[in-house]
Structure 1
């Protein structure tokens, strides 16, 4: 079956901080305000930018990441999520050609090639004029198969600066200048230690996104950007179904916490659990509302440190979760969820007691303690990952795991890349609890969801560890 074409573009830059987030959010919201259905995507493992893109597009953003998935799976995910949309916009990460090696594997450029999608370059023009033309020319001709469809000039100083930049780029290259944004002060997007502030902790996101849409409308040629997106071809090869197998009957219930403290989840992870046979229910650690009966619990990442006082004050919930863990309930906890299961979190000099399931403590520190992709070999039996498998994932945390007795905590993952939790290892296991700093993606660990559901089924049937 032939897949029809779809207007689409990738917003990238020369490095992080080039202005691509402003351009991506502004374009997505401007098109949404114009009545178009926008399919948003984020390249890389970032949860926070992805949520903001989803808000801007008034939809759900998917992460496209060649570290976790093959090119075929990337294409399947893209076209599955873009079905029915009027346009798709994908925000890149880092610089356009920045990858994991000299060849640029896992770069935004590699995604642009795989998805046959033109690139809109966000160029930071601070203290630069004619050199911008050399940069654009270099980017345009650097890598075969990557089509630079246009450039937006960011952080321009004034009309004269913009005129020189535009004239030089259009004289020396055939790349059209599709917009020029002034320097914007203060920064219109709130940030903190892990990037953008969570929308769950910030009430002004609609004003921010509306302002960004206005900035793009007033300073870019929206018609020519739309024409660039329309120039994307139909896919040159057949697109396989993202989920080729029929879903299993949902015979167990798995809860997942989604509140202001914990909300980092890939939608594909949740869908993988559903298709493996789980009925999912959304829960909160901050609310006093009673939970329904569950057969498993998924604790994602988030910002438990900034809400540590509220989490710690909800002592009934702390005791309840500890009781669930002691009963043998399968619990899978990633990063922030792991922090919640420890004895406590130290944040800005104050210790906040947590659920006490694991006999370790976490301390928030001023610099990242783990940052980037990870690969971990499974060395010990556990309910979720088979022994011998290599689990790809990522970690991004400012807290550190603290313990006086590292050997007292059974861990199942040996880090081949990344920091982990304790002495180069991750995945602390206790009863049916698996907890650590690593985040995984269901397409990178396809066994995870079926194994999690199987563990929930054993628990429901009365089997205990």
Structure 2
């Protein structure tokens, strides 16, 4: 049975063309018009996805051809688009930029997987007629790409816009779906890893300002028409998580606050599907934690909140006691930093939980960036030995302790930096911690093993 899913993918010629701001503006503008928008983000990303979800008032899922097969991508897209009037996917990097000269895992490849029309955002700074040449080149570069229109960004004034429009009308049949003026500053504040977290201030006013911009400068009706013109999606894909959900067997806590909040929704959903009752926790508010059988510490910005985390010594001591008692604890990036002895930033050292005799120090440049591939070298409650783990890393901190080489570790890095000496996934009893992020749909068995370990702990009476 065919399924109509209005959809459009926003892409750029490179990173920094403004496609994130345009995507947020469109999602918010469509939502304010009464449309239910299902937002998606291409590639490994937490921050843009969080903002897209805030703009749509609906969770945003990531779609990544490196992690996921075509079938998985179509399943996630189909099921997460249910109930929406339009689905919008924000691409990453340049439209055709992938992992090799063939553009594997590119935004263009994702658009073909989803039969999604593409709107191309172009930075028109100091360009006029050349824009038409670029658009024509993109339109014919790869077979199967449906270039539905362009959005001309950072235009200098009415004369600039007039020449751009005439050039496009003269040399191209690709429609112009809006032209945006140059903005004096980014309407959403940025920091080292991208847009600032919405959890640190109220982002609603900023999103509404972007929606106003979209109403004034973009062809919203034309963009919705392009999405409506997408081909029938085809037969309904299988479910995201095969089989029936398992009855609740264990309680797993996860820290979600302004310091730690990098979680793919499917990771939490996979744990629930495998039988976890999830409990949201915080390292910042001082509230005592309820009884739990397992703990998941995601990434985030512990360096920004290092002083507050260090001040919450009762929570840090309790965290260490859980690790010493053998609770299954899985920590990624920022969560790993919290489990170390100390975190250094701006010349100051802040005491952390002390599960691992390591110090992480914050650096001015990224210390690990991009996709990862690793081999599991020790059996744990999370992964069996010999398993190949796909992931990604994006961290500005690094381990500076001499003792890192002596610690047990679960991963040998085949691609990516990891934590130290080509390793990642430091191990202490049933705690796993490192810079590597995983996506549950690319790590079969991770959620089931995590829940099974937590359930075994519950049955054993140690909580």
TM range, smaller chain = over 0.9
Q: Give the structure 2 partner of residue 92 of structure 1.
A: 91
Q: Deviations over 1:277-301 (max 9, x none)?
A: 1110000011221111100000000
Quote the Cα distance in structure 2 between the aligned partners of 1:344 and 1:273: 30
Q: How does 1:338-417 map to 2 (within 5 A)?
A: 338-417=336-415
Q: Give the structure 2 partner of residue 46 of structure 1.
A: 45
Q: Give the structure 2 partner of residue 183 of structure 1.
A: 182
3-state SS in 2 of match to 1:142: coil
Q: Deviations over 1:181-205 (max 9, x none)?
A: 00011221210100000111122x1
Indicate which of 254, 258, 279 corresponds to 1:256: 254
Q: Deviations over 1:419-456 (max 9, x none)?
A: 00010110000000000000000011011001101111
Quote the Cα distance in structure 2 between the aligned partners of 1:95 and 1:104: 10
Equivalent residues of 1:374, 1:416 under 8 A apart: yes
Q: Give the structure 2 partner of residue 220 of structure 1.
A: 218
What's the CA shift for 1:237? Answer: 4.6
Q: Give the structure 1 partner of residue 145 of structure 2.
A: 146
3-state SS in 1 of match to 2:441: coil
Which structure 2 segments of 5+ residues have no match?
none
Quote the Cα distance in structure 2 between the aligned partners of 1:3 and 1:36: 22
What's the CA shift for 1:404? Answer: 1.2
Equivalent residues of 1:3, 1:235 under 8 A apart: yes
Quote the Cα distance in structure 1 between the aligned partners of 2:201 and 2:409: 36
Q: Give the structure 2 partner of residue 127 of structure 1.
A: 126
3-state SS in 1 of match to 2:398: strand
What's the CA shift for 1:244? Answer: 2.4
What's the CA shift for 1:405? Answer: 2.1
Q: Give the structure 2 partner of residue 444 of structure 1.
A: 442
Quote the Cα distance in structure 2 between the aligned partners of 1:323 and 1:364: 26
Quote the Cα distance in structure 2 between the aligned partners of 1:407 and 1:52: 38
What's the CA shift for 1:407? Answer: 2.9
Q: Give the structure 2 partner of residue 312 of structure 1.
A: 310
Q: Give the structure 2 partner of residue 83 of structure 1.
A: 82
Which structure 1 segments of 5+ residues have no match?
none
Equivalent residues of 2:284, 2:308 under 8 A apart: yes
Equivalent residues of 1:3, 1:239 under 8 A apart: no
Quote the Cα distance in structure 2 between the aligned partners of 1:244 and 1:308: 40
Quote the Cα distance in structure 2 between the aligned partners of 1:296 and 1:94: 37
Equivalent residues of 1:43, 1:92 under 8 A apart: yes
Runs of 4+ in 1 over 4 A off after TM superposition: none
3-state SS in 2 of match to 1:461: helix
| Root-mean-square deviation over aligned CA pairs | 1.0
Equivalent residues of 2:254, 2:278 under 8 A apart: yes
Quote the Cα distance in structure 2 between the aligned partners of 1:157 and 1:393: 41
Quote the Cα distance in structure 2 between the aligned partners of 1:280 and 1:377: 29
Quote the Cα distance in structure 1 between the aligned partners of 2:218 and 2:276: 46
Quote the Cα distance in structure 2 between the aligned partners of 1:244 and 1:365: 42
Quote the Cα distance in structure 2 between the aligned partners of 1:311 and 1:224: 48
Quote the Cα distance in structure 2 between the aligned partners of 1:120 and 1:374: 30
Equivalent residues of 2:358, 2:404 under 8 A apart: no
Q: Give the structure 2 partner of residue 293 of structure 1.
A: 291
1:110 aligns with 2:109: yes
What's the CA shift for 1:122? Answer: 0.3
Indicate which of 314, 321, 335 corresponds to 1:323: 321
Quote the Cα distance in structure 2 between the aligned partners of 1:380 and 1:426: 12
Tell me whether 358-367 or 282-291 shows the greater mean CA deviation.
282-291
What's the CA shift for 1:238? Answer: 4.4
Equivalent residues of 1:7, 1:232 under 8 A apart: yes
Equivalent residues of 1:411, 1:427 under 8 A apart: yes
Quote the Cα distance in structure 1 between the aligned partners of 2:375 and 2:323: 25
3-state SS in 2 of match to 1:121: strand
Quote the Cα distance in structure 1 between the aligned partners of 2:461 and 2:97: 48
Indicate which of 261, 271, 285 corresponds to 1:273: 271
Equivalent residues of 1:371, 1:394 under 8 A apart: yes
Indicate which of 320, 328, 334 corresponds to 2:332: 334
3-state SS in 2 of match to 1:113: helix
Quote the Cα distance in structure 1 between the aligned partners of 2:241 and 2:436: 25
Quote the Cα distance in structure 2 between the aligned partners of 1:244 and 1:313: 43
3-state SS in 1 of match to 2:77: helix
Q: Give the structure 2 partner of residue 197 of structure 1.
A: 196
Give the TM-score taking structure 1 as reference length.
0.98
What's the CA shift for 1:220? Answer: 1.3
